[in-house]
Amino acid sequence: MQPDEIITSAYTLALYLAQRHPEIKTVYVIGEEGITHELGLVGIKTRGGPTEDLTKIHRHDLDEISPQEDVQAVVVGFDVNINYRKLTQAHLNLTRIKNCLFFATNDDTTYPAQGILYPGTGSLLASLITSTNMKPVVVGKPNLPTIEAMDTKYQLNPQTTCMVGDRLDTDIQFGRKAKYHTLLVLTGIDRASGCYSRTKLSCKASRPKQMLGHCRSKYSRNGSLIASPT
């Protein structure tokens, strides 16, 4: 697989800002190198990111943080080095700078790694949504900007495209919004134990067309499926 065959939420964000908000020249980033790299490729300067605002702060020193007047938007992505200084800087930029915009790469509530679920970008976002009373524009799955980015880059035919994923509220909703075929793999976030009850009770938008036990199982080799919920 080549790099130009991969679309990330950071790529989608950079494309979205370049196309929809050409007036934005500088953003404050809570997130990692992938975001700052993609923004740099479209000519957007970044503050914050993976190399700034890493030092601990005490409550009596909060007044040393002030709005960054050159910042026109705050961008939040996954950040394992999240801290109170970063949240405070983002909060002040959003609430003290006139017309400062708010974006997020995704709002996944959890982040899976080594078989364990950890807090995801959505969990980090929650504190800023609460403190600012603002809702970000989320560009990642299952939202329209990612569908538009894929259409622009690949011109995919929905009739011959299948979205494979392990999460109902992002992967499968994305596939259904894009009118792709959808395939839920039951080895990730949404496993067989909870899938049937959730899909039965949820709206059709998050219900997979088909499900597989495991990408490397006999089901993927011989083409037979565990179930077809729709």
**For residues 156 and 75, which has the higher predicted lDDT (pLDDT)?**
75
**DSSP per residue over 71-119, as a string?**
--EEEE---TT--HHHHHHHHHHHHHSTT-EEEES---SEEEETTEEEE
Rounded to an integer, the average pLDDT of 45-71 is 94
Residues 107 and 92: their CA atoms lie apart, in Å, by: 21
Residue 194 is encoded by which pair of tokens? Answer: 């909870």
Residues 27 and 74 sit within 8 Å (Cβ to Cβ): yes
Predicted structure pTM score: 0.82
Q: Are 53 and 75 in contact (CB under 8 A)?
A: no
pLDDT band at 192 (very low <50, low <70, confident <90, very high): low
pLDDT digit string (tens) for 152-186? 888 889 889 888 888 888 888 888 888 888 888 87
At 85 the pLDDT is: 96
Give the domains, in start order, of the chain with CATH numbers.
Answer: 3-138 (3.40.50.1000), 157-222 (3.40.50.1000)
Residue 67 has pLDDT above 50, yes or no: yes
Q: What are the E-state strand segments in the chain? A: 26-30, 45-48, 73-76, 101-104, 110-113, 116-119, 137-138, 162-165, 181-185, 210-212
Could you tell me the two tokens for 80?
């394992």
User: Given a cut of 70, is residue 113 above it in pLDDT?
Assistant: yes
